[in-house]
Structure 1
Amino acid sequence: MPTRARRTQRRNQVLSRERILDTAIGLLDSGGEGALTVRAMTDRLATGSGAIYYHVGNRDELLDAATESVITAALSTRSAGARATPEDEIRAVALALFDAIAEHHWLATRLTLQIIRNPVGPVTVGIFERLGRQVGALGVPRPRWFDAASTLVHYILGAISQNARVEGDTSGIDPDADREEFFDQTSRAWRDLDAESYPFMHAIVGQIREHDDREQFLTGIAVVLDGLARLR
């Protein structure tokens, strides 16, 4: 028979906030928001719903906490270079957020909702603080800090959310279609456009099938950074 101390230790492990969040993130990763139910959580954790509510609150609060957990980890990323520049740090954070949403497809929607609904929450404040410090380090004048940081945040969130949708998390796109199939269909549709009316679309039709999402994302970061440099 296990001792009372061992039973207490096991119970505390099961009911820890960290364990609950890890379980929630696992459910979200495997099946999206629809998979995150109280019943699924209690089955996975072998506990009652009251314990979950005690540690993280209701389902919306659990989603917010799971989002905060993933984003906080991404924001802790630092550039690998010994003499990292502000540009290096911005790229490191931007790619960490990009990779987090690529890994956790449900995160794009939840992150957007956090930014909109909770501007004083840890996710919104964390993103602006982490990137905003680098905007200041770039030499952008203080009166332009908010506009500059907002432009950077808007580009990052918009670009990574679009990539997340391409990978199948948005209604209107076949969730079973893979990336290559999606871009193949798109390039064929663009090629069928009238060349005289849409010369630009015909000029880039081959590029859509060959482009790398991560490299394209970094190109956008470079464009934004170049623009911020002009504010000095």
Structure 2
Amino acid sequence: MATRARPGEREDALSRARIVEAAIEMLDGGNELTFRALAAQLRTGPGAIYWHVANKGELLAAAADAVIGEPQPVTDDPALTIRTAALEVFDAIDAHPWAGEQLARLSSQPTVLRIFERIGRQVQALGVAEAEQFTAASALLNYVLGVAGQHAAQARSVEPGTRRSDVLRAASTNLDPDRFPFIRDVAGQLREHDDRVQFLAGIDLILEGIRSRLPDGR
């Protein structure tokens, strides 16, 4: 005879996928991720979670991997594939800002290695000399994770109900013009720029630099 769940209990079995999904919901809501709070949300005990996930670090890594997701198919254009991969990461971190901080913690975590592998293969497809492939791929990876993470951190720092343009306007116009002449000159662009467009422009600048060092200059 099957055992029925008591009132308030979930009948579906606890799984690693459910745990990761619940963790993502907590992180997206701006809540601190603890196994005690997660257990309460899942209506189980912390010990049941430890059966599927060894520790908080492993759970955070799994959550980040889940929100980054599987990459889009590779195209015949290596540069386009790199731009697409970069935007996938940027958009994922934009939607889940905590993931940017997580990916910056450890370069050897599987998600970062997967992104690095994807970028590296396209760097090879561009025809970059073997001795320069690691440097080129690393520059792209560091830019992607660094800028996407910084953008997410800035977005989280803006208080609810406050427009980002107003914050940037105040920051740029209050600077000493003698110490910060450049920033004052570009204050208009700083206030009104599109982060996604600017991010892609930076990728293109790096790609142009990589192409300029190719033997045939392609």
Contact preservation (8 Å) 1:114, 1:123: no
Distance 1:178 1:132 in 2: 38
Equivalent residue in structure 2 for 1:147, among 132, 135, 142: 135
Aligned to 1:162: 150
Aligned to 2:203: 221
Contact preservation (8 Å) 1:64, 1:114: no
Contact preservation (8 Å) 1:67, 1:111: yes
Aligned to 2:102: 110
Aligned to 1:64: 61
Instruction: Kindly indicate which of the two structures has a greater share of residues assigned to helix.
Output: 1
Indicate yes or no: 2:176 matched with 1:210. no
Identity of aligned residues (%): 43
Provide the alpha-carbon RMSD of the alignment.
Answer: 2.1
Contact preservation (8 Å) 1:86, 1:138: yes
Aligned to 2:173: 188
TM-score, normalization: structure 1? 0.82
Aligned to 2:118: 130
Distance 1:215 1:98 in 2: 11
TM-score, normalization: structure 2? 0.87
Equivalent residue in structure 2 for 1:4, among 2, 5, 8: 2
Which digits, 9 at most, give the CA deviation of each residue in 1:7-60, with x for residues without a partner? 6xx75x44111111000000001014x2x1222211221111111101111222
Count of equivalent residues = 209
Displacement after TM superposition at 1:198 (Å): 4.3
Displacement after TM superposition at 1:6 (Å): 7.8
Aligned to 1:27: 26
